[in-house]
A and B are shown apart, each in its own frame.
Chain A
Amino acid sequence: MNELTETKNWYLANFEAFENSLNGQKGEPFHQLRKAAIESFAAQNFPTTKDEEWRNTNIAPILKHNFVLPTSSPELKKEDLNSFLIEGFEADQLVFVNGRFSKELSSEYAVPKGAVIGSLAEELKTNPALLEKYFSKLAKPESGIFTALSAAFTEDGIFIYIPDGKVIEKPLYILNITSAGKEKVIVNPRNIIIAGQNSQVKIIERYVSLDEAVYFTNPVTEIVCGKDSIVEHIKLQDESLNAFHISTTEAELGAGSNFSSYNISTGSALCRNTIKVKFIAEGAECTLNGLYLADGLQLLDNHTTIDHAVPNCESRELYKGALNGKSRAVFNGKVIVRKGAQKTNAFQQNKTILLSDEALIDTKPQLEIFADDVKCSHGATIGQLDEDSLFYLRSRGIGAKEARTILIYAFANDVVKTIKIDSIKKYLEKLLAARLMK
């Protein structure tokens, strides 16, 4: 038996114990969704580099470990979170520790009438019908083994439901903390965001570590953008260099809606983000921007798909990265313009700078266009820091190291500065500067 099947069997064997830990829930309709997911999981195999979608990303380092569901959550105090809090930050803070919502650590926030903002586990107890309506509808278990794994072991996550016409002014800061200690844990945060017609919501989904433990984060986020809604989604992954992170984000864009995704990865040993956006009605717009900063032996992989299934939509995508040491990155950006999706505008850019001779990027823009009246462009550049700029800065008395940092910051900040929420943009700029100063 090879490692792939061994690891698979490990999770299958763990499912029964998980089911039993759910007490009364076993008989509930929602649990049938988990059971369907574990079947789907059983029917799939962990990918190898022979699979086209995983050609450049070998997940063997993840499969080597037998990860377990967290048996306990560490007792954290608010002070423990200080380094992750945003000073003077006008946001409602929802904290998850080892995948479970912590009311104590979260801020008190007001939920407008008709809206739901809170723990998925809580929602499961109080109003499972609403959850069942949306769970696994976009990110289907059969679309990938990690999505199936997530659905089968779903316990908690963020559930956001914004009714028609409601505007949530304050950004929602979803802080996912893992502090595994000696246990090698897997956490499967399951996030669902439903934005009704004409509604607006801004979400920051962040993943961090409290220690240097080896663990595996496998989040899945499903986002429904109703007609004319405006949704901003920032995903920030700055976990420890021993963590593994495989995420899936799927969004569906209704007529006239506007979805922006900012996907920033600086942490973890191996990170794969899959983002899929589908236009299902005309007049919608989406922005997919991303930043990856890697060093040492890190591998950061971003796979994005934008599906122009209907006419008259616009997508803009900018992914930038800077790679140092022996790090590697993968960018695979697929844009599909389906037959009949006329008047589509789709622009995609990927820019990477290699800061060392041993860093490597595999970049692959894929445009699949089946309509004729469209405006599409894509481009990928790979380069080094500009020597003339470096010399110019140094000739002003700025040290070589600092000059490099300034230039990398300027390059990377191109992505961060597109974030529209000012307070968050400033916070991320600070984080970015701090990360580059290291």
Chain B
Amino acid sequence: MIEIKNLCVKIEGKEILKGINLTVNKGEVHAIMGPNGSGKSTLAQVLAGRSEYEITKGEVIYEGINLLELSPEDRARAGIFLAFQYPIEIPGVSNVNLLKTAVNEIRKYRGEEEYDAIEFLTMIKKKMGVVEMNDSLLNRSVNEGFSGGEKKRNEIFQMAALDPKLAILDETDSGLDIDALRVVAGGVNKLKTPDNAVILVTHYQRLLDYIVPDFVHVLYKGRIVKSGTKELALELEERGYDWVKDECPVGA
């Protein structure tokens, strides 16, 4: 589904990603872990099309096309969804209006007919059920005044509504209480099909108890220094990152 090859990224002259290689196939769940500041969100944002980052080397092939050439909106329309680590508050724009515009833009792009008001609301109600979203959040301004947990839940609700092929969840588990974590993770699992894929960025093994990854990668100082299966996450939980850092190639 997506193939990231030797991706190098700079911001403000500083090299953040130093040759990322990662392939994610349909139906897979990949977890990316790694210490603070190692470049996980940078990778996520670059995949979503944030233009502040300068791509100095490498390529990203998504469903056979050069992803890096697409605008952020076209990436979303082509099926990429990023759940932000820090969802943005947008005063004056209602959650439901954002979704309505987004859903219809995506449908238009896919050659599907736009939803009318009733079809849209029916769909939305269903998706709200998936993440047990509170009705009252729907008509409020996007993320404005939402609690940390509500923001994260709202991201997954948006994901449910937009029905992406590749979902990148950047620390969606941080800030969720135990019950919310279960609900949100359950939502992600319900949306999982053999045709889509998920990249999970997380610090905690706990999330991986709910959403079981096929692969776990450790990102450290802009490189993937170790990859493994879900057992790797358990090991990291126990031993921390020091031992992986030690295994890290010279010069990192």
A and B held together in a complex:
yes
Q: Is A395 an interface residue (CB 8 A)?
A: yes
A411 to B109, CA, bound (A): 28
A388-B88, A392-B90 given as contacts; is B98 within 8 A of A397 (CB)? no
CB-based contact A400/B73 at 8 Å = yes
List residues of chain B with CB within 8 A of the CB of A389: 88, 90
Contacting residues, chain B, for A411 (C-beta < 8 A)? 92
Residues A395-426 near B (CB distance < 8 A): 395-400, 402-403, 406-407, 409-411, 413-414
Q: Which residues of B contact A396 (CB under 8 A)?
A: 76, 98-99, 102, 158, 162
Give bound CA distance, A393 to B76, whole Å.
Answer: 10
Cα-based distance from A387 to B45 in the complex (angstroms): 14
Given known contacts A396-B158, A410-B93, A402 and B101 CB-to-CB distance under 8 angstroms: yes
**Taking the nearest CB of chain A, how far is it from the CB of B112, in angstroms?**
13
For A410, the chain B residues whose CB sits under 8 A away are 90-93, 141
- Taken residue by residue from 69 to 113, chain B's Cβ proximity to chain A (1 for < 8 Å, 0 otherwise) reads as 001110111000110100110111100011101110110010000
Contact A397/B162 with A407-B90, A410-B90, A410-B92 known, Cβ cut-off 8 Å: yes
**Interface assignment of B126: CB less than 8 Å from any CB of chain A:** no
Report if B190 contacts A (CB, 8 A): no
Interface size on A, residues (CB 8 A): 22
Expressed in whole angstroms, the Cα–Cα distance for A389 and B97 within the complex equals 15
B50 located at the interface, meaning its Cβ lies under 8 Å from any Cβ of chain A in the complex: yes
Is there an interface contact between A398 and B73, defined as CB atoms closer than 8 Å? Answer: yes
Produce 1/0 per residue, B109-126, CB < 8 A to A.
100000000000000000
Contact indicator B98/A393 (Cβ below 8 Å):
yes
Bound Cα distance from A410 to B109, whole angstroms: 25
Task: Name which residue of chain A comes closest to B87, CB basis.
Answer: A392
Cβ contacts under 8 Å, A391 to chain B: 48-51, 72, 88
Q: Shortest distance in angstroms between B53's beta carbon and chain A's nearest beta carbon?
A: 11
**CB distance B93 to A397 under 8 Å?**
no
Interface residues on B, range: 20 to 34
**A residues within 8 A CB of B109?**
397
C-alpha gap A411/B98 in the complex (Å)? 15
Interface status of A394 (Cβ within 8 A of chain B): yes
Q: Which residues of A contact B90 (CB under 8 A)?
A: 389, 392-393, 407, 410
Contact A406 B93 (CB under 8 A): yes
Q: Which residues from A are CB-within-8-Å of B162?
A: 396-397
What residues of chain B lie closer than 8 Å to A398, measured between beta carbons?
Answer: 73, 98, 101-102, 105
Residue of A nearest to B80 (CB): A395
Q: How far is the CA of A396 from the CA of B75 in the complex (A)?
A: 9
- The reply to whether B49 and A414 contact each other, CB–CB distance below 8 Å, is no
Label chain A's interface by main secondary structure. Answer: helix
Residues of A within 8 A of B98 (CB): 393, 396, 398, 406
The answer on a CB contact under 8 Å between A397 and B49 is no
Q: What's the minimum C-beta distance from A403 to chain B, rounded to whole angstroms?
A: 8
Residues of A within 8 A of B106 (CB): 397
Q: Which residue of B has the minimal Cβ distance to A403?
A: B73
B91, chain A: closest CB distance, angstroms? 7
Q: Which residue of B lies closest to A417 (CB)?
A: B92
Q: How far is the CA of A34 from the CA of B92 in the complex (A)?
A: 48
Tell me if A397 and B76 are in contact (CB < 8 A).
Answer: yes
- Determine if B105 and A397 form an interchain contact, defined as CB atoms under 8 angstroms apart: yes
| A396, B155: Cα distance in complex, Å | 10
Chain A residues with Cβ below 8 Å from B49 are 391, 394-395
How far, in Å, is B245 (CB) from chain A's closest CB? 32
Q: How far is A409 from B92 in the complex, measured between Cα atoms in Å?
A: 8
Residues of B within 8 A of A403 (CB): 73
Q: Is the CB of A395 within 8 A of B93?
A: no
Give A339 to B92 CA distance when docked, in angstroms: 40
- In the bound complex, how far is the Cα of B67 from the Cα of A121, in angstroms? 68
- B84 and A392 contact, CB distance less than 8 A: yes
Distance from B50 Cβ to chain A, minimum over Cβ atoms (Å): 6
- What is the bound-complex CA distance between A395 and B71, given in angstroms? 9
Contacts of B75 in A (CB 8 A): 395
CA distance A396 to B84 in the complex (A): 11
Please measure, in the bound complex, the distance between the C-alpha atom of A414 and the C-alpha atom of B97, giving whole angstroms. Answer: 16
Instruction: Kindly name the residue among A396, A398, A400, A403 whose own CB sees the greatest number of chain B CB atoms within 10 A.
Output: A396
Among B48, B51, B73, find the residue whose CB has the most chain A CB atoms closer than 10 A.
Answer: B73
Contact: B73 with A399, CB < 8 Å? yes
Residues of chain A within 8 A (CB-CB) of B93 are 393, 406-407, 410
Nearest-CB distance from A381 to chain B (Å)? 14
Question: Bound state CA distance, A387 and B72, in angstroms?
Answer: 13
Query: In the complex, A410→B98 CA distance in Å?
Result: 12
Chain B contacts for A407, CB-based, 8 A? 90, 93
**21 chain-A/chain-B pairs, Cβ below 8 angstroms:** A389-B88, A389-B90, A391-B48, A391-B50, A392-B88, A393-B90, A393-B93, A394-B72, A395-B73, A395-B75, A396-B76, A396-B98, A396-B99, A396-B162, A397-B77, A398-B102, A398-B105, A399-B73, A400-B73, A406-B97, A407-B90
Rank and list the top 5 A-B pairs by shortest CB-CB distance, nearest first. A410-B92, A397-B76, A394-B72, A396-B102, A392-B88
Q: Which residues of B contact A (CB under 8 A)?
A: 48-52, 71-73, 75-77, 81-82, 84, 87-88, 90-93, 97-99, 101-103, 105-106, 109, 141-142, 158, 162
Known contacts A403-B73, A406-B93; can you find 10 more A-B pairs with CB under 8 A? Answer: A389-B88, A395-B49, A395-B76, A397-B162, A398-B73, A399-B73, A402-B105, A406-B101, A410-B91, A411-B92
